[in-house]
Amino acid sequence: MKRRDFLTTTVSVAALTYLSRQAEAWSQNHHLLHSSQIHRTYPSWASRDLFLQGINAPVFQEVDLDNLPVTGEIPPDLAGMYVRNGPNPMFQPIAYAYPLEGDGMLHAVYFEAGKAKYRNRWILTKGLTYEMQAKQALPELRFRNYANTHIIAHAGKLLALYETGLPYEVSRDLETIGEWSFNGKLEQAMTAHPKLDIDTGELHFYRYSFFTEPYLTYYVANAAGEITRTTGIELPQPALLHDMALSDNYAIFCHCPLVFDFQQAMRTGIPLVWQPEQGARIGLIYRHDLDRQPIWIETEAFWVWHFMNAFEQNGTLVVDCAYYPQMILENTLSAILSNRSQFQRLTINLDDRTITHQALDDRNVDFPSLDRQQTGKPYRFGYMPHMDLELIAQKAIPNYFPELIQYDLVNQTSQVHRLQPGCYCGEATVVPKSNATSATDHYVLTWVFNEMTQTSDLLILDAANFTAAPLAQIHLPVRVPMGTHGSWIVAGEAA
């Protein structure tokens, strides 16, 4: 046999073997679902958009799955629900700008008495409802509230968040109730990344505007869900502020030079342009003195999608984040590969208002998380998935995280939980143990996509033995696409 024929035959056999395994996995998963488990099915479609393929491809069924199979054992003190949000377009988009677009879909696992069940639902926003009536994507509704970025519990309500629209309230069964405006006190929009003061029950959040001044408005809602503070903050020009941080005395904002450009928005659908010559500014807003003006500290240009935490210590303000030296917001593989991040600590001297930068890790990371009871306080452990840029370049598809990193911020060390080959995680969610007495007494939950079986598992890791096998691996016969952010909702926390 000639070498060329041998190679052709070998590649063909390998391809057929892979495809047969995929078909077998699909067949097995298909037969595992009974009609009684399927809530709704919608017409499927395929896209060549890199943000709608592979790990990012949407699913087209809403299902209810009880008594999920488990490898290992679910800790008996886990009682509540883990729910995660993310973009999942119901109809094939005419154009797509991930993660700004795509109908929100919630994926929840409910824990009770050592057992688990799963449910997923689209969030029935006004825009999606119109498209469902038309049975197609409507281009005039492209720039709308998708409710696709985060979900939190506050004041007895479950709120799905999208930073350029009002929250959507959903039930614990993930059924859409409707928009929530804090009894009419919230106008236009709410950030997707509010911060909860665990001691007071206050929720700190904001909205930004591209069109009307002030371009930033800071809100505080009390534990009963009543807005108690509305403070307008002047910015020199509109910009994207995706996240905020909180410490004992300050609400912290980063005004980075990813600024609004109306002409580019009309031309490309992406309204933001990177202007590093403007530098960046960090704003400190006094939490307890409404009359004091914000402190603004200038520094070199950088971008932050997400903060890990912030806290005050010995006359300084420490801010930990996933730090990008630049941000090119384009839906291209080259832009994704050029936007390299690292875990970085910014230490602000509150007396002379200077900033010191310290790299805590040079791996490409984002989606930071920690025990929310440590928000705004000195803390020890935080988590981020590692984004493998070489793998992303090889697959030409973004969002592949083959390992999860545990950071010990006190000892400035890290450990890695490496997933099985072909398996990829997302954001981690930290759940304190019921009898916690130390910083390691918590569980770490993350969705994991298995590329070979085209199914997903929910992993429960023990923070005290982070590199070991999961305490429990909850198996689903369906796939959970790569999403954005989620929360642990304790039993009774939301109606």
Q: Are 229 and 264 contacting, i.e. CB atoms less than 8 angstroms apart? A: no
Q: Are 257 and 282 contacting, i.e. CB atoms less than 8 angstroms apart? A: no
Closest CA to 460 of 481, 444, 448: 444
475 is in an annotated binding site: no
CA distance 160 to 130: 19
386 is in an annotated binding site: no
255 is in an annotated binding site: no
CA distance 387 to 400: 6
417 is in an annotated binding site: no
CA atoms within 13 A on the CB side of 247: 22
Query: How far separated are the first and last CA of the chain, in Å rounded?
Result: 69
In order of 43, 59, 300, 324, the CA distances from 392 in angstroms are 29, 21, 29, 18
Strands 280-286 and 250-255, by their bridges, are antiparallel
Task: List, in sequence order, every residue forming a beta bridge with 347; answer none if it has no partner.
Answer: 318, 356
CA atoms within 13 A on the CB side of 284: 26
**285: phi then psi, degrees, rounded to nearest 5:** -105, 125
Residues annotated within a binding site for Fe cation = 193, 242, 306, 485
- Binding-site residues: 193, 242, 306, 485
